[in-house]
Amino acid sequence: MLDALARAIEAGVGRYPDPEASALRARAAAVYGVPADHILAGNGSDELIALVLRATVDPGARVAFAVPTYSLYETMVTAQGGEAVMPPYPEDFALPPELAAARARVTFLCNPNSPSGTLTPLAKVEALAREVAGILVVDEAYVDFAHGGSALALVGRLDNVLVLRTFSKSFSLAGLRIGLAFGHPELLAGLRTVKDSYNLDRLALAAAEAALDDLDWMKGNVAHIRTTRERLVRELAARDFTVLRSEANFVLARQWEVDLAPLARALAARDILVRHFATPRLRNALRIAVGTDPEIDTLLAALDAVRG
């Protein structure tokens, strides 16, 4: 990775980067088995989400997503002037029927979902894609941590499916802001009309290409996180937390009828940051990232100390 960045710097950063990210798209095509003309590169998947809404949503147009989920969807829909339709997930985070029934211009599915970490099976994703009225955007930011289930198999077969990937999680490149969108060329053409010309710089492009050339590192990183995740789940269960099966690099730990805000504050006082949601639905939950093994040791020791 560092060698790739050094070579990019030596080649010179005084020239503009390739606006089409051609080399990155060609490498991604080889890795993911999707034609290069079905791939668009973005400044993280957040930019790709914004492009989808900018290209498709007029004021008042409906955009649907089940909640709780990635909070940026609602923020961006509001900024675009759309109407957010947000049916609630049931307790097991299965897809609510109201999602397809919303007849929205765009439907978002974060899969695995954040903050629950739950994965909707591919067959149900395909059924949803066939039922929605408009575009289905499957946000797969965490899918590398899952055991299968990617919707990339639908790209090319269904022209209303757009799959988003990011290099921020499994590749650990969050600071370089790199994302990929996979979809039908006509769908991507619409996104290009609202994309900034040079949305990825030369260093980010070089890093992304190098990352795809070193998949063994990514797979090893994922394998270690999965192992640590299972240990974290066991340890939290032993401390009376209910933990949903997670297919992401975090877990959602709950204690029914307990507001966990004081626990989150007590952990923060020990420099341990977990996410608490000040909403009625999730006040009894903490989203805990799967850190390194020493970090998990520190978390568990702090939980024991704080809770007595």
- Lowest-confidence range among 7-16, 188-197, 233-242? 7-16
pLDDT at residue 59 in the model:
94
pLDDT at residue 2 in the model:
56
14-30 residue pLDDT tens: 678 899 999 999 999 99
The range of the structural domain enclosing residue 208 comes to 2-213
- Averaged pLDDT for residues 85-103: 96
Is the domain of 201 the same as that of 276?
no
Length of the chain: 308
Is the domain of 120 the same as that of 73?
yes
Q: Is the pLDDT of residue 130 over 80?
A: yes
Is the domain of 68 the same as that of 187?
yes
Is the domain of 207 the same as that of 261?
no
- Averaged pLDDT for residues 138-147: 97
Looking up residue 260, the CATH number of its domain turns out to be 3.90.1150.10
Is the domain of 294 the same as that of 186?
no
Q: Is the pLDDT of residue 74 over 70?
A: yes
Q: Is the pLDDT of residue 8 over 80?
A: no
Is the domain of 230 the same as that of 256?
yes
Amino acid at 280: P
- Say if strands 242-243 and 250-254 run parallel, antiparallel, or are unpaired: antiparallel
Query: How many Å apart are CA 200 and CA 41, to the nearest integer?
Result: 8
Amino acid at 281: R
Number of domains in the chain: 2
Query: How many Å apart are CA 167 and CA 133, to the nearest integer?
Result: 30
Is the domain of 63 the same as that of 169?
yes
pLDDT at residue 15 in the model:
78
Percentage of residues in the chain with pLDDT exceeding 90?
90
- Averaged pLDDT for residues 2-7: 58
Alpha helices in the chain (DSSP H): 2-11, 22-32, 44-56, 72-80, 98-101, 122-131, 185-192, 202-212, 215-238, 261-268, 293-307
Last residue of a domain, one of 191, 213, 235: 213
- Averaged pLDDT for residues 209-218: 95
Rounded to the nearest integer, the mean pLDDT of the chain is: 94
Q: Is the pLDDT of residue 1 over 70?
A: no
The whole-model pTM stands at 0.94
Q: Is the distance from CB of 82 to CB of 59 less than 8 angstroms?
A: yes
- Secondary structure in 3-state letters for 99-149: HHHCCCCEEEEECCCCCCCCCCCHHHHHHHHHHCCCEEEEECCCHHHCCCC
